[in-house]
Every structure is written in structure tokens, then in C-alpha cells.
Amino acid sequence: MAGVTGLGASLLPILASSLIGNFGWRPAYIVLGLTFAEALRSRHFWLITLGLGLVGIVVVGIQIHLVPMMSDRGLAPAQAALLLTVSRDPFRRRS
């Protein structure tokens, strides 16, 4: 399922560009809006939305409680805060 979602996410800009180039932005907006309206009626859309929402809640909960949990386990507050900073964006490019 994730592969299909990734494929759709990578093909949507190509589709949007093609629609805009051939028909203009207004008709493209209508077509893509109808596609979104269809998605809103889909059970899969709502299951994916629910899953991503739950993941977001868990991530925020971990971030909120990480510094106090690590302080309780013996890390200095500065070290715990550094751990939170590193854990928030591990793939960010460092210059």
C-alpha cells in the first residue's frame, strides 16, 4: 500500500502539470478537486488519514515527554534537551 501511495504522490505533480499545460489552471483545479472529492468518499483515504494522525499523536507525545523521561533516567537536562533536538530531525543536512 505504501508503494502505491508513493507512486501516486510522485505521479500527481506530473498529472497536474499536464492538465495545467493542456487546459489551464482552472479546469485542472476542477479535475483535481473532483479527484480529491472522490478520495474523501473512500474508506482507504480515511484509514490512511487516521493512521497518519495516530502516528503524529505518538510522535508529539514522545517529544513532549522525552526530556523529563531522560532526566529521570539520569541524563543531565542539557543532555536530554540535546537528545530531543537530535531526535526531531535526524536526516537534516548539517553544514
Q: Which of 53, 52, 73, 56 is nearest to 64 (CA)?
A: 56
- φ, ψ of residue 18 to 5 degrees: the values are -65, -45
Domain boundaries, the chain: 1-41, 51-95
The model's confidence at residue 4, banded by pLDDT at 50, 70 and 90, is low
pLDDT reported for residue 19 = 92
pLDDT reported for residue 91 = 57
Q: How far apart are CA 35 and CA 75, in angstroms?
A: 50
pTM of the model: 0.55
pLDDT reported for residue 46 = 92
pLDDT tens for 25-79 read: 999 998 888 778 888 899 988 998 999 899 989 988 988 998 899 999 999 988 9
